[in-house]
Amino acid sequence: MDKRRELDAFLAEHERRAYRMAHISTGCKDEALDVVQDAMIAFVQKYADKDEADWRPLFFRVLRSKIVDLHRRRKVRSAVMRFFTRDEEGKDIELEVTASPAGNPEQLLKAQSALVALEAALQALPVKQQQTVMLRAWEGLDTRDTAIAMGVSQGSVKTHYSRGMAKLKRVLGEYWP
């Protein structure tokens, strides 16, 4: 398999999860799509020649960087917009729960409620805790790869992960396993 096909396969495999992470972090589908697209382009431009074993943490590092950039732009835009107007538009987050044939309405409602609570709890976390939890718990990256992806020390990853999980457990109480 040539490098281009390997890259295409890698990006296709990680596209959906990267979008989900970006969507949770941005709260906006369109911005999440833009962030993921920008991250994929930047990843290919900077890291296509790297060893395939290193791609995953590097890709999530680029994604994290693009998310942080978006938050910075939002902060500046928000400050500028407040200067001109007091109206701020909120964007709705649409969560989807796929109904299974065996699922009953009560189970589906509980799953929907859990997803809404989880997404709200993740969005409420500080950005570094949010990203650490998503990279470690959702993406399954180990401490080392998470540190590489975030550009921080392994100790910092452990601290952010521990604090983030503790907050989630406290906030999600009834949904926590």
pLDDT at residue 80 in the model: 32
Look up residue 34 and give its amino acid: D
- The C-alpha atoms of residue 102 and residue 92 are separated, in whole angstroms, by 29
The widest CA-to-CA distance across the chain, in whole angstroms, is 55
Tens-digit pLDDT profile for the chain (177 aa)?
588 899 999 999 999 999 999 998 888 899 999 999 999 999 999 999 999 999 999 999 999 999 988 887 776 555 433 333 333 444 443 444 444 444 567 766 777 777 788 888 888 999 899 989 888 887 878 899 999 999 999 999 999 999 998 998 888 887 665
Domains of the chain in sequence order: 1-85 (no CATH), 104-177 (1.10.10.10)
| Token couple for 60 | 């999530």
39 phi, psi to nearest 5 deg: -65, -40
Rounded-to-5 percentages of helix, strand, coil across the chain = 80, 0, 20
pTM for the complete prediction?
0.58
